[in-house]
Amino acid sequence: MSFSRTALRSASRSVFASAVRVKAPLRNATHARYNSSAPPPPPKNNSLIYAAVGVALLGGGYYYYTTNAVKPTPAAIPKPFVPTYEDYKKVYSKIADTLEAGDYDDGSYGPVLIRLAWHASGTYDAKTNTGGSSGATMRFLPESGHGANNGLDVARKVLEPIHAEFPWISYGDLWTLGGVCAVQELGGPTIKWRPGRADAEASACTPDGRLPDGAKGSDHIRDIFYRMGFNDQEIVALVGAHALGRCHPDRSGFDGPWTFAPTYLTNDFYTLLLNDKWHWKKWNGPAQFEDDKTKSLMMLPADMALVKDKNFKKYVETYAKSQDAFFEDFSKAFGKLLELGVSFKPGQESWEFPTTS
Residue 320, sorted as left (phi over 0), alpha (psi -120 to 50) or beta, turns out to be alpha
Nearest residue to 198 (alpha-carbon basis) of 175, 170, 164, 178: 170
304: buried, middle or exposed (CB in 10 Å: 19+, 13-18, 0-12)?
A: middle
Instruction: Tell me which residue of 326, 214, 208 sits closest to 270, measured CA to CA.
Output: 326
Query: CA dihedral defined by 68, 73, 77, 79, rounded to 10 degrees?
Result: 150
Q: Which helix (H) or strand (E) holds 278?
A: strand 278-280
Angle at 50 between CA 49 and CA 52, to 5 degrees: 65
Q: How far is CA 70 from the centre of its chain?
A: 36
Whether 258 is catalytic is yes
Closest by CA to 195, choosing from 46, 316, 89, is: 89
In sequence order, the β-bridge partners of residue 290 are 279, 298
With beta carbons less than 8 A apart as the criterion, state whether 331 and 122 touch: no
**Hey, how many other C-beta atoms are within 10 angstroms of the C-beta on 83?**
14
* 8 Å CB contact between 251 and 150: yes
Q: Which among 336, 355, 16 is positioned nearest to 187, based on CA atoms? A: 355
Q: Are 302 and 215 in contact (CB under 8 A)?
A: yes
- Kindly name the residue from 119, 175, 193, 278 that is annotated as catalytic: 119
Verify whether residue 119 is a known catalytic residue.
yes
CA 174 to chain centre: 11
Is 106 strand, coil or helix? coil
Cα separation, 138 vs 121, whole angstroms: 10
Q: How many residues does the chain have?
A: 357
DSSP codes, 222-276: HHHHHHHT--HHHHHHHHGGGGS-EE-TTTTS--EESSS-TTS--SHHHHHHHHS
Q: Which of 118, 175, 258, 278 is the catalytic position?
A: 258
Return the active site residues.
119, 258
